[in-house]
Amino acid sequence: MADVSWTNETDSGLTESRGNNRLKFIAGGVVMIAAIAFLVFNAMSGNTQLYKTVEEFHNEQASLVGRDLRVAGWVLGDSIQFEQIDAMTSRLEFDIVDDYENPDLRLHIVAMNEPMPDLLQDKAQALVEGSAGADGVFMANSGGLMLKCPTRYEEMDPSGHPDGVPVDGS
């Protein structure tokens, strides 16, 4: 708003000032749009994550090491382990897959010092933010573990098995 004049126009100058106003409006608008673009790019630079499925992760693993990622997949119940290492350190591990029909294509997730999420159980859908090391183990960021909630209820058929589990969250 710095580009705005502080003087008050007299009535006789109104017509002229209208044209002037329009110009100021356009100039002000351009400045503001530039400011927003700056805010967006400034906030996003280096802070966006790539979104990968388990399969995509494996295909591109070499190029993804150390990068900020968000992976999605279905939890394998048997793989969930919670270990309290000492008073201040805990380790939560589990595997996710894209497809229960293909359990070999899985991603091992490790989350340190995270509480055990209520929804972390077999056939839950997990979204994990973090990054992977060269060993292919995916370390979750602090607070980067999210489990989808009501989905489970909607997708189970009366026999208790999820029907048509989609490949990912898209």
Partner 1 sequence: MIADLGYIALLFAFITAVYSAFAAWYGRRSDNWRWVESARNATVITLPLVALSAALLITLLLQDDFSIEYVWRVSSIEQPTYLKVTALWGGQAGSLLFWNLLLAIFTAAAMFRKWDEQKPLMPYALMVASFTQIFFLMLSAFVENPFARITGMIPANGNGLNPLLRHPGMIIHPPMLYLGFTGFTIPYTFAVAALMSGKLDDTWIRTTRRWTLVAWLFLSLGLILGGRWAYDVLGWGGYWGWDPVENASLIPWLSGTAFLHSVMIQEKRDMFKVWNMFLIIVTYALVILGTFVVRSGVISSVHSFAESAVGPLFFGFIAVMFIFSAYWLNKRREELAGKNSLTSFFSREAAFLYNNFLILAILVITFLFTYYPIISELFTGERGFVGPPVYEKALAPLFALLLLLMGVAPLTMWYRTSMNRLQKAMLWPFIIATTTIIVLFFLNIRHWAALVGFWVVTFAVVLTLMEFGKGTRARMKHGENVFVAFSNLMARNRRRYGGYWIHMGVLIMAVGIIGVELYQEETQQLMQIGDKISLGRYEMQLLGVQQYEGPDDLIITEATVDVYDNGDLVATLTPRREIYTRTGQPMTIPKARSTIAEDFYVLLAEQPTSPNAAIMRVFLNPMINWVWAGGFVFVLGTLIAAWPDAVEDRITAVRARRRPAIAVAGD
Binding site for partner 1 (CB under 8 A): 1, 4-6, 8-9, 14, 17-18, 21, 24-25, 32, 36, 39-40, 42-44, 47-52, 70, 72, 82, 84, 86-88, 90, 113, 115-116, 118-119, 121, 127, 129, 143, 146-151, 153-156, 158, 166, 168-170
Minimum gap (Å) between residue 21 Cβ and partner 1 = 6
> First CA to last CA across the chain, in angstroms?
42
Nearer to partner 1, 43 or 104 (CB): 43
Other beta carbons less than 10 A from residue 96's beta carbon: 24
CB of 47 to partner 1, least distance (A): 5
Count of CA atoms in the C-beta half-sphere (13 A) of 93: 11
Tell how strand 69-86 and strand 106-112 pair up.
unpaired
The amino acid that residue 104 corresponds to is: D
* Residue (14 or 137) nearer to partner 1, CB: 14
Q: Based on CB atoms, which residue is closest to partner 1, 101 or 143?
A: 143
CA distance 15 to 34: 29
Compute the distance between CA of residue 144 and CA of residue 128 in angstroms, rounded to an integer. Answer: 6
Indicate the residue among 137 and 156 with the shorter CB distance to partner 1.
Answer: 156
